[in-house]
Structure 1
Amino acid sequence: MANNLQSSLVRDFRQTLLWPVQLMTDDLGPSAVHCPWDVLKATPNSPWREIEDEFLQSASLLSETRYQEFVTFMPFAQRFLYGEGKHGRESGGYGESPIHIFTRNDIREVRITLQGESDPLILRVSHIELYFFFDIDVAMLALEVTAKDLPLQHAMEVLYRLGRTYPNYWEESGEGGHCAQRIEWLDPHGQVIAASDYENKARYLAFVKENHVPCVSLHWAALMSPLVQHYSEQAGEIRYRELEYQRMPLMAYLSFDDVSQLSRGDLIRLGLVCQPWHSETLPFTEQFLQDFEKNNCYDRYWDDSRQDAWSTTRIMSTGQNFVVVGNHQHRVFTNEKTGIKRHYQNQYFLLFLIAHFQKAALLMLSDRMVQAISRLDMQSEDSIKTFRNRIRNATAVFLRFTHRYWFENVSDQAVAKDLFALMLKQLDSADLFEKTRRRIMDMAEYLEGEEIKRQADTVVRLTVVTILGLIGTMTSGLLGMNLIDLTQVSLLEKLGYFSIVFIPVSLLTFYTVIKSRRLSLFLDALSNEGAGLGYKLVKLKNVWFGRLDER
């Protein structure tokens, strides 16, 4: 490694991992809502505790930090993030926030052993949170770790390796490819709560062979508990499965004594979250990276000439990653109240959360459509009925998602507006939204067409029965109702005569319904003035002797 990586210290290192997962549910009706947060609250001995929103606490004043965060967003985004106040709730408005947040405090540190290193690193766990969203079967795990005076080489390794849910491959030594050698969650007393098992190749291979989905490492599975991975043998009411790539989306904040000492190669590796290497080299070819600054850097606070002391903050976004670097000494970057550091912890995190939640929700809805189609058996009436219910449910959820959660802009403040637009563009969420909308609308139109066809077929059958029944009705009407005088007979005889007429008429009506489709073809032929007598007689014959598949 170049001396730059060995000598540069990250004075303040923060990494926030965001893991979106799909919650698996039984088939629910269009009006049913899955409430996993209620299940989690009712789970005995669960390490998760729901966070009471500051807006709902008894204090008379809101904290200034939360106020600054609140006013960053536009009203519709505020209702999504914070709900409505008491007047809105009392008038039947939006109500409380649709976000339910849980936290756990039993994990205080992460001990990570990097490949090729003998001494592990100890990172402090700043917070662990689990987000649920009303009416959307998606949960998001947020984990933030911090460190002080961390060598840049180690910081890059942690960024690259910490957020891996399973290995891509295995090295010849048996260690998981792209993963840390070992990751351990430590309790307040330094005791290990759970550890990674990336080296257990047999477990991952067997799980994929049997279930056709990747297997989550043991330390991540333990962190999510009592939520359990779908298809696993563990018992649990709340089950989940992964939605995206095995490397979690991440945010990072790194402050340096002098950020200008970082080379272009260092900055690109940080922005793309690549493995550390010689500072004078690039991670990829110059041709591939020629538009990196244009497409991935938000340089509102960055100036290559360094003419102003405050112009030393670079924000880099790739959709999957959001990385901020700057000078540790300058208050614009490190100020705990109004600096970039505070924005990173609050506003920028919420922008990142919303963008990835929207993508995860759209992927979840697309998966539901695939599952509905894959389980459809056109030969089974029960399967067709279940398919209709699933499509109607997915359509209803998508419509509610569109009006409650889908925004292409969440703020009028310049920086927040620009950053959110950049995230949506890089995640390609607008295109994913439109594709999902078209697929769901296609399904809805298919169901509507099938319903209209079924209703039309019923009308045709009833029309045929009515026409044929009209013959008997008119005949009885012309002959009068006193064809057989039953006024002097007993009630028992009247019931007998009634049965003699009722049974054959009923059988004739049912038989007419059975043959109604073919009789309708005969009536069409009979009404066709251009058709000859022979054609009409053939159609009449087909009522009893035609092919079963004739329509």
Structure 2
Amino acid sequence: MADNLQSSIVRDFRQTLLWPIQLMTEQHQGRAVEHPWQLLKAAPNTPWTEIQDEFLQHSPHLSETRYQEFVTFLPFAQRFLYGEGKHGREAGGYGESPIHIFTRNDISLVRITLQDDIEPLMLRVSHVELYFFFDIDVAMLAFEVTGKDLPLHAAMEVMYRLGRTYPNYWDDTGEGGHCAKRIEWLDAHGQVIARSDYEDKQRYLAYVKENHVPCVSLHWLALLQPLVPHYSDQAGDLRYREIEYQRMPLMAYLSFDDVRQLSRGDLIRLGLVCQPWNSDTLPFTEQFLQDFEKHNCYDRYWDESRQDAWSSTRIMCTGQNFVVVGSQQHRVFTNEKTGIKRHYQNQYFLLFLIAHFQKAALLMLSDRMVQAISRLDIQSEDSVKNFRHRIRNATAVFLRFTHRYWFETVSDQAVAKDLFALMLRQLDSVSLFEKTRRRIMDMAEYLEGEEIKRQADTVVRLTVVTILGLIGTMTTGLLGMNLIDLTQSSLLEKLGYFSIVFIPVSLLTFYTVIKSRRLSLFLDALSNEGAGLGYKLVKLKNVWIGRLDER
């Protein structure tokens, strides 16, 4: 390997993993779960506590950092992220933010063992947060680790291996492919809280064989508790399943003494989150990577000619990954108050969160449509009713998502606007939104068409009954023409005559309803002046015998 991997030191390393999961909230104790965060708050012995945001009224002050973060966004994005405050609540608007954030503080360190012959890496856990969103069955786990003075090789290995929820395969030694040999969560005293089990091949194979869904590693399972996988045998009110690929979306911030010492191969490997390798080589072919800088790099602060000392910050976005690299001696990169580092921790994180939340929500809605279709049995009336209910519910959720959470731009500030557009383009979210919208609208149109067809069929039946009822009406009307004088009859005689007319008319009406579809076809034939007598007689015969023709 080239010397860069060991000689280049990452002075300040930060990695944020963002894991979107789908909440399975259809039933809890016989009813639908509307506010899953309430269940988490009520769970006994939970390590999660809800974060009281600075924007809440009882918080005495708002920090300048949060103010800078707030003014980055346009008003509709501000309402999504922060709510509308007391005036919005009084006016019946958003009120508080639709985002509910929980954190746990019992995990302080991560110990990562890459190979047996290499000393394990110790990284500090900066924060662990779990985001819930009102009216959307999606949660986002944000997990950030930090380190100081790491060799570039080690930093690249951590980026590549930490955020794996399960192995893709097992190598000849039995270790999980692309995964670290061992990952351990440690508390403040260095005691192990949970560790990975990537090497337990039989557990993963058995789980997939039984449930047809991937099996999550034990350390990630422990991190999310009391949330439990949907198909597991564990008891839990809050259940989830994965939405996307097994490698979590990640953000990374790497500060070097001089980032210009990195080769193009190093930078591309960082941007694509590839395994470390010789700095003089590329991870893929030159033809494949010829447009990498054009499509994946935001070089507002990067000068390829290397003439401006301050322009040494490169931002790379490749959909699943958002990586920022730069030189630590320049304030534009490392300034804790207004530099790229602060923006990475606040504004850029929120841009990344919004973009991936939107994608996860759209995938969740698509999954709901698939589940509704897969459970539909057109021969079962109950199944059809449940299908209508699911589709209408999904349509309502999609409409609320569109107006509350869907934005193609969230800021007019140049950098935030450009980066969010780059994220959406890399994730292909706009195309996914249009596809999801078309599918949901197709389902809604199908239901509307079925409703119209059912109403039209009912109208036809009622029309047939009304037409044939005219015969009975006219007949019974003759009774009022004094043909039969009942004025001197007793009440019992009158009731007898009434019963004589009422019972056969009722039976005739019910029989007409039963035969209304066949009778409607006969009436159509009867009104067709171009049809012959034989054709009309056949239709009349079909009222009692013969096959029912569909229109």
TM-superposed CA distance for 1:495, in Å, is 3.7
SS of equivalent residue, structure 1 residue 544: coil
TM-superposed CA distance for 1:496, in Å, is 3.9
Q: In the alignment, which residue of structure 1 is the partner of 2:361?
A: 361
Contact 1:362 1:432 in 2 (8 A): yes
Which stretch shows the higher mean deviation, 318-327 or 491-500? 491-500
Q: In the alignment, which residue of structure 1 is the partner of 2:238?
A: 238
1:202 lines up with 2:213 in the alignment:
no
Instruction: Give the Cα separation in 2 of the matches to 1:336 and 1:211.
Output: 47
Q: In the alignment, which residue of structure 2 is the partner of 1:459?
A: 459
1:147 lines up with 2:147 in the alignment:
yes
Contact 2:542 2:548 in 1 (8 A): no
Contact 2:26 2:32 in 1 (8 A): no
Deviations along 1:48-95, one digit per CA (max 9) or x if unpaired, are 111111100424431100000000000000000000021111011121
Instruction: Give the Cα separation in 1 of the matches to 2:238 and 2:549.
Output: 47
Q: In the alignment, which residue of structure 2 is the partner of 1:343?
A: 343
Q: In the alignment, which residue of structure 2 is the partner of 1:528?
A: 528
Change in Cα spacing, 1:169 to 1:527, as seen in structure 2 (3 Å) is same
Contact 1:33 1:135 in 2 (8 A): no
1:182 lines up with 2:143 in the alignment:
no
Contact 2:129 2:142 in 1 (8 A): yes
Deviations along 1:212-262, one digit per CA (max 9) or x if unpaired, are 110100100110111111111111111111111100000000001111111
Change in Cα spacing, 1:89 to 1:117, as seen in structure 2 (3 Å) is farther
TM-superposed CA distance for 1:494, in Å, is 3.9
Instruction: Give the Cα separation in 2 of the matches to 1:490 and 1:527.
Output: 46
Deviations along 1:165-190, one digit per CA (max 9) or x if unpaired, are 00000011110000000001111111
Q: In the alignment, which residue of structure 1 is the partner of 2:257?
A: 257
SS of equivalent residue, structure 1 residue 148: strand
Letter in 1 for 2:436: T
TM-superposed CA distance for 1:484, in Å, is 4.1
Unpaired runs of 5+ residues, structure 1, are none
Q: In the alignment, which residue of structure 2 is the partner of 1:101?
A: 101
TM-superposed CA distance for 1:508, in Å, is 1.1
Paired residues for 1:367-378 under 5 Å: 367-378=367-378
Q: In the alignment, which residue of structure 2 is the partner of 1:79?
A: 79
TM-superposed CA distance for 1:164, in Å, is 0.1
Q: In the alignment, which residue of structure 1 is the partner of 2:517?
A: 517
Which stretch shows the higher mean deviation, 128-137 or 53-62? 53-62
Contact 1:160 1:273 in 2 (8 A): yes
Unpaired runs of 5+ residues, structure 2, are none
Deviations along 1:428-451, one digit per CA (max 9) or x if unpaired, are 000000000111111111110000
TM (norm. structure 2) is 0.97
Letter in 2 for 1:80: F
Q: In the alignment, which residue of structure 1 is the partner of 2:283?
A: 283
Instruction: Give the Cα separation in 1 of the matches to 2:394 and 2:500.
Output: 53
TM-superposed CA distance for 1:487, in Å, is 4.1
Change in Cα spacing, 1:186 to 1:490, as seen in structure 2 (3 Å) is farther
TM-superposed CA distance for 1:481, in Å, is 5.8
Contact 1:27 1:390 in 2 (8 A): no
Contact 1:23 1:137 in 2 (8 A): yes
Paired residues for 1:372-521 under 5 Å: 372-480=372-480, 482-521=482-521
Letter in 1 for 2:256: F
Q: In the alignment, which residue of structure 2 is the partner of 1:539?
A: 539
Deviations along 1:382-419, one digit per CA (max 9) or x if unpaired, are 11111111110111111110000000000000000000
TM-superposed CA distance for 1:32, in Å, is 7.4
Q: In the alignment, which residue of structure 1 is the partner of 2:36?
A: 36
Paired residues for 1:165-176 under 5 Å: 165-176=165-176
Letter in 2 for 1:359: K
Instruction: Give the Cα separation in 2 of the matches to 1:529 and 1:33.
Output: 61
TM-superposed CA distance for 1:482, in Å, is 4.5
Instruction: Give the Cα separation in 1 of the matches to 2:298 and 2:505.
Output: 82
1:192 lines up with 2:192 in the alignment:
yes
SS of equivalent residue, structure 1 residue 521: helix
Contact 1:318 1:426 in 2 (8 A): yes
Paired residues for 1:113-124 under 5 Å: 113-124=113-124
Contact 1:297 1:314 in 2 (8 A): yes
Instruction: Give the Cα separation in 1 of the matches to 2:83 and 2:224.
Output: 26
Instruction: Give the Cα separation in 1 of the matches to 2:196 and 2:481.
Output: 89
Letter in 2 for 1:546: G
Q: In the alignment, which residue of structure 1 is the partner of 2:221?
A: 221
Q: In the alignment, which residue of structure 1 is the partner of 2:130?
A: 130
Contact 2:365 2:398 in 1 (8 A): yes
Which stretch shows the higher mean deviation, 295-304 or 159-168? 295-304
Instruction: Give the Cα separation in 2 of the matches to 1:239 and 1:201.
Output: 24
Instruction: Give the Cα separation in 1 of the matches to 2:188 and 2:120.
Output: 18
Q: In the alignment, which residue of structure 2 is the partner of 1:70?
A: 70
Change in Cα spacing, 1:159 to 1:117, as seen in structure 2 (3 Å) is farther
Q: How much is the aligned-residue C-alpha RMSD, in angstroms?
A: 1.6
Letter in 2 for 1:319: G
Letter in 2 for 1:474: M
Instruction: Give the Cα separation in 2 of the matches to 1:407 and 1:428.
Output: 14
SS of equivalent residue, structure 2 residue 164: coil
SS of equivalent residue, structure 2 residue 266: helix
Count of residues in correspondence between the two structures: 549
Contact 1:103 1:130 in 2 (8 A): yes
Letter in 1 for 2:310: W
SS of equivalent residue, structure 2 residue 283: coil
Instruction: Give the Cα separation in 2 of the matches to 1:184 and 1:12.
Output: 22
TM-superposed CA distance for 1:308, in Å, is 1.9
Instruction: Give the Cα separation in 2 of the matches to 1:550 and 1:457.
Output: 12
TM-superposed CA distance for 1:306, in Å, is 2.2
Q: In the alignment, which residue of structure 2 is the partner of 1:312?
A: 312
Letter in 2 for 1:522: F
Q: In the alignment, which residue of structure 2 is the partner of 1:14?
A: 14
TM-superposed CA distance for 1:105, in Å, is 0.6
Instruction: Give the Cα separation in 2 of the matches to 1:11 and 1:440.
Output: 49
Which stretch shows the higher mean deviation, 417-426 or 56-65? 56-65
Q: In the alignment, which residue of structure 1 is the partner of 2:211?
A: 211
Contact 2:24 2:230 in 1 (8 A): yes
1:92 lines up with 2:79 in the alignment:
no
SS of equivalent residue, structure 1 residue 61: coil
Letter in 2 for 1:204: Y
Instruction: Give the Cα separation in 2 of the matches to 1:239 and 1:33.
Output: 11
TM-superposed CA distance for 1:478, in Å, is 3.7
Which stretch shows the higher mean deviation, 155-164 or 3-12? 3-12
Identity percentage over the alignment? 87
SS of equivalent residue, structure 2 residue 277: coil
Letter in 2 for 1:450: E
Instruction: Give the Cα separation in 1 of the matches to 2:178 and 2:482.
Output: 95
Letter in 2 for 1:305: S
1:297 lines up with 2:297 in the alignment:
yes
Change in Cα spacing, 1:420 to 1:550, as seen in structure 2 (3 Å) is closer
SS of equivalent residue, structure 2 residue 326: strand
Change in Cα spacing, 1:550 to 1:58, as seen in structure 2 (3 Å) is closer
Instruction: Give the Cα separation in 2 of the matches to 1:44 and 1:372.
Output: 34
Letter in 2 for 1:51: I
Instruction: Give the Cα separation in 2 of the matches to 1:213 and 1:251.
Output: 26
SS of equivalent residue, structure 1 residue 275: coil
Instruction: Give the Cα separation in 2 of the matches to 1:421 and 1:550.
Output: 53
